[in-house]
A and B are shown apart, each in its own frame.
Chain A
Amino acid sequence: MAQPESSIISTSTTHIEGKIVKDTDTDGPPQTTPVQSATFSQSINAEIRRAAATGIYDIRGGGAKRKVPSFDDLLFLGASISRYPLEGYREKCETSVTLGARHASNPIELDIPITIAGMSFGALSGPAKEALGRGATLAGTSTTTGDGGMTQEERGHSNKLVYQYLPSRYGMNPDDLRRADAIEVVVGQGAKPGGGGMLLGQKISDRVAEMRNLPKGIDQRSACRHPDWTGPDDLEIKILELREITSWKVPIYIKVGGARPYFDTTLAVKAGADVVVLDGMEGGTAATQDVFIEHVGQPILACIRESVRALQDMGMHREVQLIVSGGIRTGADVAKCMALGADAVAIGTGALIALGDNDPRWEDEYQKLGTTAGAYDDWHEGRDPAGITTQDPELMARFDPVEGGRRLNNYLKVMTLEAQTIARACGKSHLHNLEPEDLCALTMEAAAMAKIPLAGTNWYPGKPGTSY
């Protein structure tokens, strides 16, 4: 309804002061309440103003912050008359996993199915990488290098270290390749399927520059595609080369972002992968464009079953292991991944939080950076108050790698205990025995994506044999 101009001014002024205006708040005829646009929301408008002022897109770290259908939209059914539970704390519930026995003579044996995802030295400090190694080793699991090569801190403290083979090939050399316990060929990652790396000049210290063979202080951008192979047929030959160099000893993983999980899994297996690593859009990155993080790639919930279906169609489920990552926070998430068919999970953001990233103890300093604990994502600027995503010596000195390792180990243990608790409740003596039948979905979206029946029904959208 059209309104007199004076009343619009009156109501909008009141709104700017943060008050909700009611039609009885002003004298005269009732007024229409000011309405914020759902399309042009306050945060969108702020981004438009930021873009207009700076002429540069927003760069940040982390994964998708938007709300997407997630593991929270799934529930376990638990035991009942037809399902016999196991006694908590007393009856065995195994958690070990073997990765990469398809072709490798030395597959990876882990005590728990929760691995540490690839995070680079450069994005993280040396002590932070050391802490990841310490914590993972205590917990009986693996860590993964990242773009920038293998550091002694991480190799020295990681009992099982996965060496990433990335498009940039920064720091890549045959000696480190042979020192690795597994090789992960990175085709993509969930935060930015189709995007390369970005490490801005603030974090290119002498050591980082030397490892990457680049001048100090320049913005470093890693290529988005590999320099010496294109397509799955080439990849198969590339994997042959890597196996020959490492004498067929170590497993070869292929990591893909959550783009086309059925086909990517099929092609990875065809190319010879021992393990497929599948990373959803919730998975973090050290830095990239916000628009990339929020608008490219699929949630991990939508990817797992498609990847498992590809493995099953080839008769390779459990023969080629599936590691899933992206937004995994708790033992419940781990158990749900297992039930959907994964063999293991990888965590990145959760591990950093366990180390102390975004901890409220640094709130005063987050405020000075214009943010708040829990929301800090300008990792590329290298000013992390927690001393984790930085190369600044003073900030790095705040972080104790021994204490960090202890905290990570605790977190991993808690996640494992939680997953075991759920598995026992479902009558499972190994986490891998969890199955889709143990789950129900709370929303239609989650039901459709995970192919899990909507709670209270035996149906999900797209279920074979149903008409709608």
Chain B
Amino acid sequence: MLELKNICFSRDGKDILKDISISFPDNKVIVITGANGSGKSTLAKIIMGIEKPDSGNIIFNGKDITKMEIDERSRLGIGFAFQQPVKFKGITVGDILNITAGKRLNRQELCSYLSDVGLCAKDYIDRELDSNLSGGELKRIEIAMLALKNSEFTLFDEPEAGIDLWSFNSLINIFENMKNNTNDTIVIISHQERILNIADEIVVFENGSIKEMGKKSKILPTLLISSKSTRYVKEEKSNG
């Protein structure tokens, strides 16, 4: 279980997170939503340790991790899929999956993780993680990394951005597998109605504060009707 207690974060005189307290229970899919600039991504970075809060505490399985570095948090069981995947010169898709696994994966294993995100291993494992790959391809590889890392607590920051409809379906499958097969917690930052639909709980952010939170059945209907500042994307119709 991950708990945030009274997290405050401001930059350049602007309060980005205002006294956020929230518990993420085990074995749940929690979707954080809200307008752009409402503090969602900052919150994710604070949980991963990329940003440090000005005040407040982060407790993971009873342990205060507020001062821990990124890698320590990762080894404790926190994972983070970036909104903008990072590019590397020379590091291939196969390399990054091996780094993620902490060992050399065989071709069959590599193939399995890549096919889950709709990529054919033989076309990709030797390709570099650089601008030769499209934004959508990089995004799918980012998701494959986190599915492989299979952390106890995984954050996905707008995983659907730049992903086409076909891989969007497999993306949902990945979340559902992660949810069904383990006791892990998945936190997804998203505006997608279809992702909101797989949530157990929804947290709505507004101007650096939690506007409301609770079970999907309670939050989702009002969100879809009343939202003015946030555009929720209706589920797209697939031909397939």
Whether chain B is bound by chain A comes out as no
List B residues at the A interface (Cβ < 8 Å): none
List A residues at the B interface (Cβ < 8 Å): none
